[in-house]
Amino acid sequence: MVRLNIADKVVDGVIERHGKVRARLVEQYKKTKPFRQEPIDPVEMLYHYNQLTPENINELIQVYGRESVNSLIMNMENLKARRMK
């Protein structure tokens, strides 16, 4: 039987602690404004959304994933529908 190296144990402990700290920070700052970021005007968001090309959307999918991009598209289409009323 092979024993675990002490360095492996230390790294595992650090990774576990990092995960706990990150989860705590996410929970603690869930409803707060992102650090040093100003909210974007909905009109400006719609303008940028309407300028997206299929190539831009494919790039976004590669970087952020299909689920996140679909959520963005749904939010923008809902915002667009509300503004049309």
**Residue 21 is assigned to a structural domain of this protein:** yes
**Residue 63 is assigned to a structural domain of this protein:** yes
Which range of residues forms the domain containing residue 43? Answer: 6-84
**Residue 26 is assigned to a structural domain of this protein:** yes
- The percent of residues in the chain predicted with pLDDT above 70, rounded, is 100
| Structure token pair of residue 10 | 């230390």
**Residue 30 is assigned to a structural domain of this protein:** yes
**Residue 13 is assigned to a structural domain of this protein:** yes
Provide the number of structural domains found in the chain: 1
Task: Please state, rounded to an integer, the average pLDDT across all residues of the chain.
Answer: 90
**Residue 1 is assigned to a structural domain of this protein:** no
Alpha-carbon gap, residue 57 to 51, rounded angstroms: 10
> How many Cα neighbours within 13 Å face the side chain of 51?
6
Are 69 and 61 within 8 A, CB to CB? yes
* pLDDT band, residue 63 (cuts 50/70/90): very high
**pLDDT tens string 22-59:** 999 888 888 777 777 888 888 899 999 999 999 999 99
* pLDDT band, residue 83 (cuts 50/70/90): confident
- On whether the pTM is more than 0.85, the answer is no
**Residue 11 is assigned to a structural domain of this protein:** yes
